[in-house]
Amino acid sequence: MGDLFIILDGYYATFRVVVNEEVWSLEIHEPSGNALKMSNLCRKILDDVKDKKLDEASYIKILDSFDFERRRPYN
């Protein structure tokens, strides 16, 4: 059997998107890897909105640093 991990505290990152007329949510407990990078990017954007200093070029640069796995489409 695989390892069993139990995490009793920490934080959750919740991502939401509107698709047609539905709101889809993804909740990740203790995000890591690209999920952590995306969580940090979203927090940065929200902080920048509060400070009224959006910098789209910096967000794109952060997204370019992600290590996305490229998969071949199913035939």
Domain-embedded: residue 22: no
Rounded to 5°, angle at Cα 55 from 27 and 45: 20
Question: How far, in Å, CA of 59 to CA of 61, rounded?
Answer: 5
Domain-embedded: residue 52: yes
Domain-embedded: residue 20: no
3-state secondary structure of 14: strand
Q: Do the Cβ atoms of 62 and 34 come closer than 8 Å?
A: no
Report the helix count and the strand count for the chain, using DSSP H and E: 2, 2
> pLDDT tens across 3-31, in order?
666 666 778 899 999 999 999 999 998 88
Residue 5 one-letter amino acid: F
Give the domain range for residue 39: 31-67
> pLDDT tens across 41-74, in order?
999 999 999 999 999 999 999 998 887 776 666 6
Domain-embedded: residue 60: yes
Domain-embedded: residue 39: yes
Tally of residues, the chain: 75
Say how many domains are in the chain: 1
pTM above 0.85, yes or no: no
